[in-house]
Amino acid sequence: MADSSKLYARAKEVIPGGVNSPIRACLSVESEPLFIARAFGSKLESVEGDVYIDFVQSWGPMLLGHAHPAVTEAAQKACAAGASYGAPCPAELELAEMVIEAVPSVEMVRMVNSGTEATMTALRLARGYTKRDKVIKFEGCYHGHADAFLAAAGSGYADLCIPGTPGVPADTVKDTLLAPYNNLERVKELFKLHPEDIAAIIVEPTAGNMGLVPPAEGFLEGLRALCDEYGALLIFDEVITGFRLSYGGAQARFDITPDLTTLGKIIGGGFPVGAYGGKKEIMQHIAPCGNIFQAGTLSGNPVAMATGIATLKLLKQADYAALEQRTSKFAHELLNVLKEKGVPVTMNTLASMFTVFFTDTPVTDFATAKTAAPKLYTTFYKQMRAQGIYLASLSYEAAMVSFAHTDEDFEKALEAARKVQF
Ligand code: PMP
């Protein structure tokens, strides 16, 4: 029988750390990765044949659950018609039109292959368009691994606890200005210090990479107003929130209009897709109609476009409110189970996401997220996993619930949590 541990040992010989993305290695939860054989609905099956209820959902894309029949069929059909053309195809146009219809601020959109490419290009576009260099990002927000964003980033980067990544020249991040999430005063100060140099603010309109941290009342409105006042662009990084906080993303839910939006994860239905879009007037500066360059051999890939279209068609009809209600009920029940154990615990939840922070401090930014005790999360993670509940291998991530999760899944997860010993 296949064995995750043996595969991991083999993988470490040929892939750095044995994984193709750092947090998969499960180092911070003192565990080894499970190798996955297949996934269906709310479940993952490891190569050993053990089935887990999955609250990671590939870190966000699988809002419909794994291997949804309509998405699988779309992939198979598209694949049979050729995997890549390097030329326009109708599916990329159809997905672009669907994104534009769904996401309020997007009038034009360009498909890329990952969230990283989307944010990297949105920043290049903002800089080229405004002819300014500086960007404000928030501590604990993660915008992919492009050089400019690797300053006080969240997600797996936070886990490594290094102030900067070797290989990112100091000059590359010198224009990245940092502010605490939800701290409008600090953003105002930065604008006062650099009134004519800030090209953009980039923000996760609900943070998902320092654990889930919703925006405080007035925070996003304040960012919009400051950008307008100083002639900077507001970039919403909706790689997680897009099509998750609502069909129109965070901007539809909070009714704030950014200038540029980055998307990823859900729009590919599990295939590698990212996108950036916004006002026509700005997007037209991208090559070939403008002179700001961005390109991609596999961008608009017909298989990934087909799975994206199939996913969005289903999500358009989906009952987001019901999923939110079920997620919130489950998260609060989980909170009560953990509270009864006498550990410090705070629960943040919004839409179909939640994060358990092992702290008594309300979590509103990266500093408060860091008050959570990593050891308690490690204990929780290990014992839940041993009982068939698959959680994020890092406390700085939001747990994801899909439309495929059943009440029985929630009950099993609660039952497992009741048995955890701290
Ligand atoms: N932005 C946000 C908000 C993300 O959460 C992520 C990935 N977790 C990215 C950008 C980067 O996306 P990718 O991993 O597809 O490059």
What tens digit of pLDDT does each residue of 387-399 get?
A: 999 999 998 999 9
Bridge partner list, 46:
36
Q: What pLDDT does 158 receive?
A: 64
- How far apart are the C-alpha atoms of 361 and 369, rounded to whole Å? 8
Question: For residue 116, which atom of ligand 1 is closest to its CA?
Answer: 16
Lowest mean pLDDT among 77-86, 141-150, 353-362: 141-150
Asked if residues 18 and 12 have their Cβ atoms less than 8 Å apart, the reply is yes
Half-sphere exposure of 93 (CA within 13 A, CB side): 4
Q: What pLDDT does 161 receive?
A: 44
Of 91, 419, 396, the closest CA to residue 273 belongs to: 91
Lowest mean pLDDT among 92-96, 149-153, 186-190, 218-222: 149-153
The mean per-residue pLDDT over the stretch 246-269 comes to 98
C-alpha 107 – ligand 1 centre gap (Å): 22
pLDDT at position 163 over 70: no
Q: Please, which pLDDT band fits residue 337 given cuts at 50, 70 and 90?
A: very high
DSSP 3-state of 281:
helix
Ligand 1 contact via 236 beta carbon (within 6 Å): no
pLDDT at position 70 over 80: yes
374-386 vs 407-419: helix axis angle to the nearest 10?
A: 120
Mean pLDDT over each residue of the chain, to the nearest integer: 96
Ligand 1 contact via 208 beta carbon (within 6 Å): yes
The mean per-residue pLDDT over the stretch 262-271 comes to 98
C-alpha 343 – ligand 1 centre gap (Å): 31
Ligand 1 contact via 142 beta carbon (within 6 Å): yes
- Whether this model's ipTM surpasses 0.90 comes out as yes
* Mutational test site, ligand 1, from 57, 138, 236, 265, max ligand atoms within 8 Å of CB: 265
CA-CA-CA-CA torsion sign (254, 259, 264, 267): positive
**Domain definitions of the chain by residue range:** 4-64+319-419, 69-316
Asked if residues 310 and 79 have their Cβ atoms less than 8 Å apart, the reply is no
Ligand 1 contact via 308 beta carbon (within 6 Å): no
**Side chain identity, residue 236:** F
Q: What pLDDT does 248 receive?
A: 98
Ligand 1 contact via 119 beta carbon (within 6 Å): yes
For the domain made up of 4-64+319-419, give the CATH fold.
Aspartate Aminotransferase, domain 1 (3.90.1150)
Which residues have a catalytic role annotated?
142, 237, 265
pLDDT at position 45 over 50: yes
Q: What percentage of residues in the chain have a pLDDT greater than 70?
A: 97
Each residue's pLDDT tens digit, 213-233? 999 999 999 999 999 999 999
Higher pLDDT, 365 or 152: 365
pLDDT at position 114 over 80: yes
**Start-to-end CA span in the chain (Å):** 33
C-alpha 50 – ligand 1 centre gap (Å): 29
Ligand 1 contact via 114 beta carbon (within 6 Å): yes
Ligand 1, atom 7, residue with closest C-alpha:
144
Question: For residue 59, which atom of ligand 1 is closest to its CA?
Answer: 8
- How far apart are the C-alpha atoms of 176 and 150, rounded to whole Å? 9
Q: Which CATH architecture has domain 69-316?
A: 3-Layer(aba) Sandwich (3.40)
pLDDT at position 32 over 60: yes
Question: For residue 237, which atom of ligand 1 is closest to its CA?
Answer: 3
Each residue's pLDDT tens digit, 348-380? 999 999 999 999 999 999 999 999 999 999 999
Name residues whose C-beta falls within 8 Å of residue 146's C-beta, 6 or more positions apart in sequence.
Answer: 116, 119, 120, 123
Ligand 1 contact via 144 beta carbon (within 6 Å): yes
